[in-house]
Amino acid sequence: MFPALETERKQETLPDPYEDFMYRHLQYYGYFKDSLMLSSPLLRSRQLLFDELDQVNPRLREPRELFAFFSSKGTLQAPRWPIECEVIKESIHHIEWVPPQPEYFYQPTGNEKLPEIVGEEKGTVVYHLNPVPTEGSYFTSSRVGGKRGIIKELAVTLEGPEDDTLLFESRFESGNLQKAVQVDTYEYELTLRTDLYTNKHTQWFYFRVQNTRKDVTYRFTIVNLLKPKSLYTVGMKPLMYSQLDANIYNIGWRREGNEIKYYKNNTDNGQQSFYCLTWTIQFPHDQDTCFFAHFYPYTYTDLQCYLLSVAKNPIQSQFCKLRTLCRSLAGNTVYLLTITNPSPTPHEAAAKKAVVLSARVHPGESNASWIMKGFLDFILSNSPDAQLLRDIFVFKVVPMLNPDGVIVGNYRCSLAGRDLNRHYKTILKESFPCIWHTRNMIKRLLEEREVLLYCDFHGHSRKNNIFLYGCNNNDRKYWLHERVFPLMLSKNAPDKFSFHSCNFKVQKCKEGTGRVVMWRMGILNSYTMESTFSGSTLGSKRNIHFTIEDLKSLGYHVCDTLLDFCDPDKTKFTQCLAELKELLQQEIHKKFNERGEEVNLEGSWSDISLSDIESSTSGSDSSLSDGLPVHLLNIVDELNQKMMSKKKKKKPLQTRKQRNELHQKNKLMPEFKLTEDASDRAELAPTLQKQSTFYKTLENFRSSAMKNEKLSLSESKRPGFTPSCPQRGSTDSSQESAPESSQNFLCSFRPAPLENVVEQPELTISPCKLHCASRCPQASVGQR
């Protein structure tokens, strides 16, 4: 399926920039003309291509394109796996098929056997994966083909043609089976692998068995499921695929199994309870290759094949632009599709509203991919309704948000070991690239145009039918508007979609989900679409499993409902609003009756909080976030500190108008200041003139005082001289203190600031009193 896969494996890592630079220069100057130089190990470059015999081919590898996702030859990118994962080289492919007859739910008889778990102590291990990374470890690197080295055969070796032991395998794309233990001739206990780098999330299974025997009843029991409730308790059957039936009769996946029972495991590890799923099966052929799965698989390679067909279609490629949104942790491409018809004018193009759709944030919910495929099939078709939708909307589609999880067979998490649908508010771009870039793409989109609707496709493990989770709007102007689209969808698909199962309560534990984050960003119609793993309990589909076509048809109904929702004739919209108000009144009456209270809805009953009426959504058991892994906590703290420092330092950019105003202000300030100073000087002129007279008198006093001081010093040397100032602490005014230098005198008469200068009366002060007033403690306040 993958041409040139071996040469891709040779590369293993990105080309070294320095090595590539040197190689190009050496090639340019003719150093590689000699074949001996080409084969020299010192000059080998990862940019060179190698043939099957490991001989150097003197051609440079085509440069990796930044945004293109398929090479010029139209080959697919091989999935990149964590280096801990062993991967078989066989390519797995299944045909699409619709059963000609309805596949009804299993009807319990009450006589179903509950096998006691034996374990490998009393059984025989016939398949066991090497230890896989669990909680405490984390993803480090990836490569095409996964783990290096020779892939060992994990299944048991058959002793001969009569050996009827089943051969198990799950080391392929989306596969999940950790261990198989044979506890009887035709009875096996199965252990599922937890999501990588976690110790939980066991729900999705997908594995292969070979060496089957016809007309023999086999029993399989999965022993380590974690959810206490399951659709297997209300009639859901596992899926089986026979390779011989597919090759001979063109029959694909079908619901099979008898004596189906979901029950609590009798073993307890002291930390968490496990649950078992058991069923019996009869294979249709001898020596067949069969597969079992929780739901119809849809792999990363399936998506790439579909997108490649779109890219090669000359008509579809005109209005569907495929780009790389980002690379996942393992380096797999996360694709972004922009679907819209070209507009006649730029004004009409800018006026289009946007619709954003995404799927497979939870990798084990493959039903989301089948709904997405149905949507893409219709919106890319030449149907008049599809053309109309492309004329009035810009569709942004992320068909697989978590390719790494899909590839390795996880049920819930990415390779970060966390549920991505609880981290849409993350700032860790490198650790959660898929949702970080999705949120950033929608943020930019909101700056360009209105986003009418956001919907993230999911699967549900405990409810039948298809339904939506939304967000109650607090704006009275748009009261109940978020419920109109789900109600319309229930009318367009009455045998599949259940409006009664919809819920619009925003719980605190769901604040990190895509639905709530996009709603808080300003998208009124923000939804999570939940599709059952089982089937319908409505109308003509009652008690019948959903097929691939049922899910794909819902993608069409989404498009059909969009047209009704945006119809210029608001009759349908108004009718739905009236119906919603009536349904809400009935629900309010029901709630108050259950409480034994009376309520009067004649007044402003619309003020009643909708959150008080609705119950919490019964989603998955892993609805609470596990928080960040230990190795990411310090990174978050550092990023938060950097962001805070940037917020303090960074100044907002100014517009041209603001810059011009600031420039004019700075230019006029000197002129204004000069004018202001001139007026201030004119007002202070009389005061300054009097102050000048005062300081001149003061200077005269100073000079005469210095002369008198010199005379006093010369006279004090004569015998019988008595000072005229009293000493410190003396009450006798006839005594004088010891003479001081004239520096102290000058310091005690510093001029006051201009604004403090007041008009003072002219004083007549003797030099002696002026000199002593600055030093004598006995001097009066007026003298000081």
Angle made by CA atoms 280, 196, 68, in degrees to the nearest 5: 110
**CA separation, residue 768 to residues 63, 153, 232, 523, 764 (Å):** 99, 117, 114, 88, 12
State the catalytic residues: 530
The Cα 679–Cα 52 span in angstroms is 94
3-class secondary structure, 506 = coil
Residue 572 neighbours by CB distance under 10 Å: 15
| Stretch (H or E) spanning 50 | strand 48-50
Max Cα-Cα span within the chain = 147
590, burial (CB in 10 Å: exposed 0-12, middle 13-18, buried 19+): exposed
The Cα 80–Cα 169 span in angstroms is 20
The Cα 674–Cα 662 span in angstroms is 19
- Best CA proximity match to 617, nearest among 515, 507, 530: 507
Q: Angle of helix 384-392 relative to helix 548-565, nearest 10 degrees?
A: 50
**CA separation, residue 496 to residues 530, 545, 706 (Å):** 12, 11, 112
Residue 503 forms beta bridges with which residues?
A: 469
Residue pair 330/83 in contact (Cβ under 8 Å)? The answer is: no
3-class secondary structure, 172 = coil
Residue 456 forms beta bridges with which residues?
A: 358, 528
How many Cα atoms sit within 13 Å of 707 on the Cβ side? 7
The Cα 349–Cα 541 span in angstroms is 41
The Cα 216–Cα 558 span in angstroms is 44
